[in-house]
Amino acid sequence: MALNRELVGKSYPGTAPWVVAADHVRAYALATQSENPRYVDPLVAGGQVAPPIYGVVVGQRAVEQLLLDPELAVDTTQLLHTEQHMRFGEPMRPGEALTYEAIVVAIGDERGGENLDVALRVRRSDGSLAYDSLVRLFIRTPGVKRTGQERRADIPGVLKRSLPPQITASSSPLFEQTLHVADDQSLRYADASGDYNPIHRDPALAKAAGLPGIILHGMCTLAMAQNALVDQGGGGDPALLKALGGSFTRRVQPGDDLTVRAHAAAESQGVRTIGFEVTKQNGKAVIKDGVAEFAR
């Protein structure tokens, strides 16, 4: 069943402000394998803050409204997360009340299904930016051919896709870090993020959806990469990370080993841009065209 393109431009606002809780920030950080004191210690110098990517958790309820809207007609069992692009304001802190909304930006044909672009916005009580995101989802519909047709809403301020920095084949890595995906990683991330899509939790339902078994949330993989980038590229200071994005190219499963490989790219107007990728133990990329921007 095709997505309802009449809903392009529709907004799904949160029903109540999200109040950031210290315990939840800590749980989310631990569920993504980070023990950065800025996330897990309420008594840390400078005060506890949420990981930059935590904004996706705040807006998850608005995204759920969108995905479960019967008029939009999204088959969540056939949904794949293919891209994520984010911009961050000042770090979110425990006690802050945040508003959020998800907006249908575009629906377009793709070989084997349709792309669904969603903007996710999180704001402080004074209207200032906490988190902005552009999400691309792919809804599998076997037999559908790419036609190039797309319906897109002209929404001011929607993020553009991050352009990966030019990295030459001879570029030496700025750093590499290998991470192991725990057997219960997707279960812990589901509880911390609120994303309970059964393909991340139920082996039988995942296989019924045509998958080899439970797969890890793309956002958990990206959050793990974010942790490595903040710790090694930003000196452990999450306030320096101002943008993050990339494309999800392959599935990650429990038991996989992931390597985050970062390359120094460019510095301009007080911003340091780092390119990165994440690969599996077989050397194949699961996140490509990664971009991280740090304030200097």
pLDDT at 111 (0 to 100): 87
Nearest alpha-carbon partner for 290 in 178, 175, 172, 162: 162
| C-beta separation of 74 from 67 below 8 A | yes
pLDDT at 168 (0 to 100): 53
Q: pLDDT by residue (tens digit) across 29-74?
A: 999 999 999 999 999 999 999 999 999 999 999 999 999 999 999 9
Domain count, the chain: 1
213: left (phi over 0), alpha (psi -120 to 50) or beta: left
pLDDT at 23 (0 to 100): 97
**Centroid of chain to Cα 222:** 6
Cα separation, 214 vs 201, whole angstroms = 6
**Count of CA atoms in the C-beta half-sphere (13 A) of 244:** 30
| C-beta separation of 53 from 67 below 8 A | no
Give pTM, 2 decimals: 0.91
Q: What is the CATH number of the domain that holds 270?
A: 3.10.129.10
Mean pLDDT to the nearest integer, 136-143 = 88
pLDDT at residue 146 tops 80: no
For 153, the domain range is 5-295
Q: pLDDT by residue (tens digit) across 222-238?
A: 999 999 999 998 999 99
Q: Which residue type does 220 have?
A: C
Cα separation, 256 vs 42, whole angstroms = 32
pLDDT at 263 (0 to 100): 87
